[in-house]
Amino acid sequence: MRISVIGSGYVGLITGLCLADLGNEVVCIDVIESKVETINRGQSPIFEEGIDELLIRCLASERFRATIDISTVAQTDITFICVGTPSNPDGTWNIDHVRSASKAVGKALGQKSSDHVVVLKSTVIPMTCETVVLPILEAASGRRQGHGLGVAVNPEFLREGTAISDFMNPDRVVIGSGDHLSSALLRELYAPLGRPIVEVPLATAEMIKVASNAFLATKISFVNEVGNICKDMGIDFRSVAEGMGPDPRIGPLFLNAGAGFGGSCFPKDVRGIAAEAHRRGLEPLILDAVLEVNDRQPLRMVEMLARSLDINGVQVAVLGLAFKPGTDDVRESRSIPVVTKLLERGAKVVAHDYQAIEGFRKLFPEITYYDCPEDCVAEADAVLIMTAWPGYSRPEMYDDKLVIDGRGVTRSKNYEGICW
């Protein structure tokens, strides 16, 4: 199949490369020329397990390339819209890029006569495809849905760090299809994966994505709240989770209590659906609480530290800046509120991460960064572990320093866990 992908960010690039690897002809289209050049040179603009090898393999196969030329859409059968939908100040999703991409794709279709399917992959408030994307596409292309134009919603469930294997081995492929054209094409495209396909109406597919992320975030805030109670009662929540997980109604995954969730999806998507609920006059009590618990959780670590020493003037080593291990992404990392609070309270902050120093330095140029965790810890009066990088687990690197562990990775001589 000939595929165009609008947006070469995290989702777009992984989608494009994986579809090319499955034997399709793919062109990734982006407005940033330098990014396009980097990709075509065989260098990935994002850090992701296995992406460098995949990119080189796809470029060598000549089934994959990147371009800034939107008119290329006309040479393909199907277009995936994978542009960013950041949060507006009120928490709703900003869909400006979705609008502009839809318009550009619609215009490009003017140069094509055969059928075309447009698939929305960006996370949006349910109904966006039907009420925003489709009318823009129809107006710009002069086509009507079902008459030369198919539209679909196909959310992604990729986790950073395992995105390629998540794409190739999905638990399910969700297809929100508005017409026969898009349904048939997407079923054919995903058939080689041999995974279950859930086909639903457009808005249902949009809600499946949002509700899945909101549910997982809820699970994390729930274990964090129960973990806080456990801590107060002298119970180790990690053992509680082990005892809960074997019940298939609960499941063993996403029971890691700790400093809370960050990243590009969970905070944004919970805020988005909660904001929509408020806008509709509904009271999203659980979703509001999920966000509140997540805001408070990292600050608990600073409070725990303050119970042991006067933070003003002490040197605190923050280990882990990425929002989780296996990525260089610092978006909504729980280290951000922690470092902010530590600086506010007069601490001298030193920090380490295996991948995310560059990104964090843009937010906090004033703190000192170390390339090696041992050097970072050496002169510190206390240590806060914010990301579960395996390198932080060795107890000997802390000797008898005070360690507040927000991720349950170590058992050093003088450590205190956030929920244990």
Catalytic residues: 265
| Sign, CA torsion 176/178/180/181 | negative
Instruction: Please state the closest distance from residue 220 (CB atom) to ligand UDX, in A.
Output: 5
Instruction: Please state the closest distance from residue 205 (CB atom) to ligand UDX, in A.
Output: 14
Only one of the segments 25-33, 50-58, 260-268, 394-402 lies at the binding site for ligand UDX (rule: CB under 6 A); that segment is 260-268
Instruction: Please state the closest distance from residue 224 (CB atom) to ligand UDX, in A.
Output: 7
Single residue of 80, 167, 261, 392 touching ligand UDX by CB under 6 A: 261
Helix, strand, coil abundance in the chain, percent, nearest 5? 45, 15, 40
8 or 256, CB closer to ligand UDX? 256
Residues 151-210 that bind ligand UDX (CB under 6 A): 156-160
Single residue of 6, 220, 240, 293 touching ligand UDX by CB under 6 A: 220
Instruction: Please state the closest distance from residue 254 (CB atom) to ligand UDX, in A.
Output: 4
Residues 116-135 that bind ligand UDX (CB under 6 A): none
Is 287 an interacting residue with respect to ligand UDX (CB under 6 A)?
A: no
Single residue of 186, 255, 287, 404 touching ligand UDX by CB under 6 A: 255
Please answer whether residues 319 and 405 qualify as being in contact, where contact means their C-beta atoms are separated by less than 8 angstroms. Answer: no
- State the Cα–Cα distance between residues 74 and 109, nearest whole angstrom: 6
DSSP string, 157-174: -PPTTSHHHHHHS-S-EE
- Convert 121-131 to b/e letters by CB count within 10 Å (16 or more is b): bbbbbbebbbe
Q: Which residues, 6+ apart, have CB-to-CB distance to 48 below 8 Å?
A: 10, 14, 160, 161, 163, 164, 327
Is 225 an interacting residue with respect to ligand UDX (CB under 6 A)?
A: no
Single residue of 126, 262, 320, 417 touching ligand UDX by CB under 6 A: 262
Instruction: Please state the closest distance from residue 193 (CB atom) to ligand UDX, in A.
Output: 16
Instruction: Name the token pair of 175.
Output: 């297809």
Single residue of 263, 298, 320, 373 touching ligand UDX by CB under 6 A: 263
Only one of the segments 36-44, 83-91, 131-139, 250-258 lies at the binding site for ligand UDX (rule: CB under 6 A); that segment is 250-258
Is 266 an interacting residue with respect to ligand UDX (CB under 6 A)?
A: yes
265 or 382, CB closer to ligand UDX? 265
389 or 415, CB closer to ligand UDX? 389
91 or 150, CB closer to ligand UDX? 91
Q: How many Cα atoms are found within 13 Å in the side-chain-facing hemisphere of 141?
A: 33
Task: For residue 298, give the nearest of 268, 338, 326 by alpha carbon.
Answer: 338
Single residue of 22, 31, 254, 401 touching ligand UDX by CB under 6 A: 254
Q: How many Cα atoms are found within 13 Å in the side-chain-facing hemisphere of 346?
A: 7
Element holding 26 (H helix, E strand): strand 25-29
Residues 305-334 that bind ligand UDX (CB under 6 A): 323-324
- State the Cα–Cα distance between residues 4 and 237, nearest whole angstrom: 47
Work out the widest C-alpha separation in the chain, in whole angstroms. Answer: 72
Q: How many Cα atoms are found within 13 Å in the side-chain-facing hemisphere of 247?
A: 7
Three-class SS state of 116: strand
Instruction: Please state the closest distance from residue 377 (CB atom) to ligand UDX, in A.
Output: 21
Specify which residues 4 forms β-bridges with: 27, 79
Total of residues contacting ligand UDX (CB under 6 A): 20
Kindly list the residues in this chain that would bind ligand UDX in the complex (CB under 6 A): 156-160, 213, 216, 220, 254-256, 258, 260-263, 265-266, 323-324
